[in-house]
Amino acid sequence: MLSGMSKALQQAIERVGGQRELGRRLGVSYQAIQTWLQSQVPAERVLTIERLTGVSRHALRPDIYPRDGK
């Protein structure tokens, strides 16, 4: 079962056409993307993924980008 953060990353992956394509756009391997699905997106990648895919930073990393801004 995917966590909420993993579901958000999966949505981002689908929006760009796959793990390899997201990796290409971010300049990382598809294996890195697979690792993120099992753990979390690195903080330094969140805003770029949001810009590329439209998946919100809040969904990708609610621990550092809470919806209430606190």
Long-range contacts of 33-42 (CB under 8 A, 24+ apart): 33/9, 36/9, 37/2, 37/6, 37/9, 37/10, 38/6, 40/5, 41/5, 41/9
pLDDT at 62: 94
pLDDT at 66: 92
Distance between CA atoms of 28 and 69, rounded to whole angstroms?
A: 29
CATH 1.10.357.10 fits 4-59, yes or no: no
Per residue of the chain (70 residues), give pLDDT as tens: 567 779 999 999 999 999 999 999 999 999 999 999 999 999 999 999 999 999 999 999 999 999 875 5
What pTM value is reported for the model? 0.89
Q: Where are the domains of the chain?
A: 4-59
